[in-house]
Amino acid sequence: MADVFVSYARSDKLRVAPLVAAIEAQGWSVWWDPEIDAGQQFDDQIEEELKSAKAVMVVWTAASVASRWVRGEAREAADLGTLVPARFDGARMPMDVRAIHTTDLDGWGENPNSPPFQALLRALGAMIARQGGPSASPAAAASAAAASRIGICVLPFVNMSGDPEQEYFSDGITEDIITDLSKVSALAIVSRNSAFMYKGKLVDVQVVARDLKVQHVLEGSVRKAGGRVRITAQLVDGASKDNVWAERYDRDLSDIFALQDEISEAIVKALKLKLLPEEKKAIEQRGTTNLDAYNLYLMARQHYATGNEGDIRRNEAIVRLCQRATEIDPNYAQAWALMALGQMLARLVRGGQVDDGLAAAGRALALDPNLAAAHAVKARILSESGRHEEAGAEIEIALRLDPESFEVNRGAGYLRFREKRLPEAARYFEKALSLMETDISSPNMLMTCYTALGDREALRRTAQVTLDRAQKALTQDPSNGAAMGFCCYALATLGQAESAKGWMNRALLIDPDNANMRYNFACALACQLNDRDGAIDLLGPLFERISIGMLNHAKADPDLDPVRGDARFRAMVAAAEERLATASH
């Protein structure tokens, strides 16, 4: 039984999909099934769902007003007392339902914070409450609870070591403090993505507090040299700029874990809060107590954060670092999970000659069954091998354990994408995009989703985000093949065809074997630049060595729809399938 049943005209699917996604994002369940044509063999199922729903939202447009099925569902809902009408374009509704208050959605602009959408939420909430459900959506209730918490932004700690190579350590300390404070129920901690936007910049604490709507800002620095570490930290009142708490720690490097605990507990104490026993226990669970293993894990995590997934050297570096970390501490679940991710990504690029990561993911979960990142990577590995039902079960566990995890949301996005459930995929990729400032893959996937969904406004927005992030990544590493591929796709999407082709030609000279980059170039040519021959020429060498995971992705990718009917493309797919089937025996 769903909270909300949505009645609409099939021709309005692309218009209704973002609306459904926004309602689901509030935590309500929605039944609308875009794959079912009302009035065909699913009449009984539709009637059962309509009668059991707490609210029936009818989306009136010129097309739905003309649909006898939608009009019939509206009359049925009106008789049941569950009708919540909404409309676009001032559609003139059937006479027998005009008396019921209707929400006009013309100005919602696919913005969940817009007044029209908020009015619709209130109408749905009132109806659901009338039928015995909660008056507010779960998301709204969570938002109200969050409003009573103390907001803190943890700015990236400055690397004072005099060695840029130590940046991974100061970033790792910052991330761990963000994670620790997020476990305190009385605090609302700004995400890593929002905090790291200020990395390397001179900031005014009052401006940061105002922009992020927090009461306090934590800033600090890390100096690591030899076997010593010095950490300075200060918690600043965002309104007065006064220090609420400040401390300098000068310790042996081996004390780093105790130091992080002390900082978190000192902040809680300074704010006159009480740390619950289970929160204190959660903060002190580090995954490892071995400094060398922790240091290697931070290095691996920094490599992962670069976003260059098509670079086999980067993926192999992640695996090597995590392997060494797990040799030092075999019980380091986080390192096993990150190793699994590196192995999965390496196999996606290189194919069957490398480990798929399933064993490492299993080891992580044996050590910590509640590690959401391990469930997420296991889901992606299972999906790559076609075990979709098992993958779906794993990602649901991951989402339940940590719905705010970057890896979990991105993993959920990929699974929904493979299932061609694009509105849901877009919702998870949007969430992932908001959680990691170096993520250039999610905005690229969003461009594909929004192109297929026909959402031009969202497409241009995500294309600009992709371009900005890709260009930033290229200033740090001009050979980042993934960034080159995403940059080209974004330029093509934004109508800058010549610039896109220029990027493509240069990149292929620099890194012709980068599978991820070559694939994205082909997508840009096929979907955005209307060059099908060029797309097939680029895909030819890639399909000769394509992995099963990338082949399955290509089969589901709507960007390649323009070339699917081409005999050359069909021949490439058939040859790849035969090669992979032979290799698996």
pLDDT in the model for residue 37: 47
What percent of the chain is helix, strand and coil (3-state, nearest 5)? 60, 10, 30
Give the domain-ending residue among 124, 143, 162. 143
**Which DSSP symbol is given to 302?**
H
Query: Is residue 314 a part of any domain in this protein?
Result: no
Query: Is residue 312 a part of any domain in this protein?
Result: no
- pTM value is 0.68
Query: Is residue 207 a part of any domain in this protein?
Result: yes
Q: Are residues 195 and 266 in the same domain?
A: yes
**The dihedral formed by the CA atoms of 90, 95, 101 and 107, expressed in degrees to the nearest 10:** -10
Domain span including residue 153: 149-286
Q: Are residues 230 and 113 in the same domain?
A: no
Q: Are residues 104 and 44 in the same domain?
A: yes
Query: Is residue 327 a part of any domain in this protein?
Result: no
Q: Which is nearest to 6 in space by CA: 65, 95, 72, 70?
A: 70
Q: Are residues 90 and 175 in the same domain?
A: no
Query: Is residue 356 a part of any domain in this protein?
Result: no
Q: Are residues 137 and 208 in the same domain?
A: no
CA 346, 352, 358, 360 dihedral sign is negative
Whether 30 contacts 24, CB under 8 Å? yes
Q: Which is nearest to 373 in space by CA: 418, 414, 403?
A: 403
pLDDT in the model for residue 308: 67
Condensed to tens digits (0 to 9), the pLDDT of residues 238-283 reads 988 899 999 999 999 888 888 888 898 899 889 888 777 888 887 7
CATH number of the domain bearing residue 91: 3.40.50.10140
pLDDT in the model for residue 39: 44
pLDDT in the model for residue 351: 64
Give the domain-ending residue among 259, 286, 313. 286
Give how far the C-alpha of residue 291 lies from the chain's centroid of Cα atoms, to the nearest Å. Answer: 30
pLDDT in the model for residue 36: 53
In DSSP notation, 395-435 reads HHHHHHH-TT-HHHHHHHHHHHHHTT-HHHHHHHHHHHHHH
Q: Are residues 10 and 114 in the same domain?
A: yes
CATH number of the domain bearing residue 262: 3.40.50.10070
Query: Is residue 273 a part of any domain in this protein?
Result: yes
Give the domain-ending residue among 286, 301, 331. 286
Q: Are residues 166 and 67 in the same domain?
A: no
Count of domains observed in the chain = 3
Query: Is residue 425 a part of any domain in this protein?
Result: no
Q: Look up residue 571 and give its two tokens.
A: 């021949």
Residues of the chain with pLDDT under 50: 35, 37-40, 144-146
Q: Are residues 166 and 193 in the same domain?
A: yes
Q: Are residues 139 and 9 in the same domain?
A: yes
**Which DSSP symbol is given to 421?**
-
Query: Is residue 561 a part of any domain in this protein?
Result: yes
